[in-house]
Amino acid sequence: MRKNLGTRIILALLMLVILSSYLYLQIQGYRELRLPQEQAGSLAASAPGQAVVLSQTQSASPNAAGTTLDTAELHAPAVQSKDRGSTAAPEPTVDPETPYGKALANAAAQGLPTPPDIDITSWEYTLVNGEHSIDRYEPEQLAYLHQTLAETDIQTSYNGNRCPVDLRIAEPLIAFGQGCKAAGLTVFLSSGYRSYSDQAANFQRICQNNGISDGKDSAGHYITMPAGCSEHQLALCCDITDRYYQIKNASIEQTATYQWLNEHCAEYGFVQRFPSGKEDITGVMYEPWHFRYVGVEVAEYMTENHLTLEEFLGLYGVE
């Protein structure tokens, strides 16, 4: 009997162990099932917050709507996938073969900060230079601006007394000039759009006046571009000075207007296109009056990092 009782106690204990192990496993299993649901719940709850952050980023940049929209679309899935992962928050993977993937790698290799995540094929980034002709390109819609910005209306039909530019840069250009005037300075929009045939005539005249045939000075830098190679034909730029000059030269950099324009251009989406010391890269002589529109985000990156358009686009693999 005693033996029997002992066996019973052992059996009972064994049952107890089995039962508690079973209960323990049940609880663990329940937890594992429950956790992902809770994570998913918190992700869903935080999604509207992320949308707000993205739209804030969009409105903070007065860049072209199309560009910022693309950026937001690209960011949205990356942010979510980051949250789904562990607390290590791995960086979203960017295909190294895409323009932005190339820009990330090239910027890192050159010790530059993270470049803007942009659609490099967008109109603001069109490259025109001695090696990149736009042939007989014509802008879709021109805007004619008052040369001293005494009037700030935007006329869209031909007006020979006004400065023509691509309609898409009319508003930022007016804001830029008005900012300069608000600082107590004068502005003069001396040259905007020039057609292919205008540029051909310009080229011929300047070459004749300087006794040259290729448009280049003795250092091999363009002083006038062949037709098809001028940024003025693209109409996304403007020569801005304090007053009318028959011939513009580097001394314009000493004017208060130039100094204000140079300091504030990026805030309005413009860059100094042909800076001093970068003539071998742009192929063009120093032109402190020539400002090119690229949008605020890119203008700030280029200006802060002293990059020409050639160098900036080169990061993205544009050659």
| Binding interface with Zn ion (CB under 5 A) | 239, 290
- Residue number with CB closer to Zn ion (55 or 249): 249
- Residue number with CB closer to Zn ion (71 or 199): 199
- Residue number with CB closer to Zn ion (12 or 250): 250
CB of 192 to Zn ion, least distance (A): 9
Q: In terms of residues, how long is the chain?
A: 319
CB of 270 to Zn ion, least distance (A): 12
Taking CB atoms, the residue at the shortest distance from Zn ion is 290
Q: Could you tell me if residue 306 is left (phi over 0), alpha (psi between -120 and 50 degrees) or otherwise beta? A: left
SS3 291: strand
**228 within 8 A of 133, measured Cβ to Cβ:** yes
- CA dist 204 and 161 (Å) reads 24
Residue whose tokens read 């032109």: 287
- Residue number with CB closer to Zn ion (174 or 235): 235
Q: In what order do the strands lie in the sheet with 237-241?
A: 188-191, 237-241, 290-293, 270-272
CB of 194 to Zn ion, least distance (A): 9
CB of 224 to Zn ion, least distance (A): 10
Which two tokens mark 303? 């200006």
- CA dist 302 and 287 (Å) reads 17
CB of 310 to Zn ion, least distance (A): 16
Strands 188-191 and 237-241: antiparallel
- CA dist 293 and 273 (Å) reads 9
- CA dist 308 and 282 (Å) reads 7
CB of 98 to Zn ion, least distance (A): 33
- Residue number with CB closer to Zn ion (55 or 251): 251
CB of 290 to Zn ion, least distance (A): 4
Of 229, 235, 247, residue with least CA distance to 287: 247
- Residue number with CB closer to Zn ion (163 or 302): 163
- Residue number with CB closer to Zn ion (73 or 131): 131
